[in-house]
Amino acid sequence: MSAQELADECEMSKPTVYRRVERLQAYGLLDEQTEIRTSNNHYSVYTATLSEFAVELDDGSFEASLTRTGDESFPGEGEPDTADRFKRMWEDL
């Protein structure tokens, strides 16, 4: 998804999206690729590298784990709810 698509879907400003994208990239949770258009309007699109995020609750304590994808594409790539997953993941951090 592009930054504009994320901003629209998550109902936040583009500067906020870029700040959060930079943070997720720093942790290796997003890949960035450039979409090249014939109109010279190039822009970045982002793909999640996270394939699984789990939280285990046990007697008042919790343990979180995550699994990242390798070179293969993210399982939810191209599905309309990708932005919703991104939004929920960010809100729960």
Q: Is 48 helix (H, G, I), strand (E, B) or coil?
A: strand
Strand partners, 58: 61
Segment 43-84, tens digit of pLDDT: 899 998 888 889 999 998 999 988 887 644 444 444 456 676
E-strand ranges in 21-91 read: 30-35, 43-48, 50-58, 61-68
CB atoms within 10 A of CB 20: 19
Segment 14-50, tens digit of pLDDT: 999 999 999 999 888 899 998 888 888 888 999 988 8
Give the structural domain span for 67.
Answer: 3-91
Give the per-residue pLDDT at 35: 86
Give the per-residue pLDDT at 8: 95
Give the per-residue pLDDT at 89: 62
Q: How many domains does the chain have?
A: 1
Give the per-residue pLDDT at 36: 83
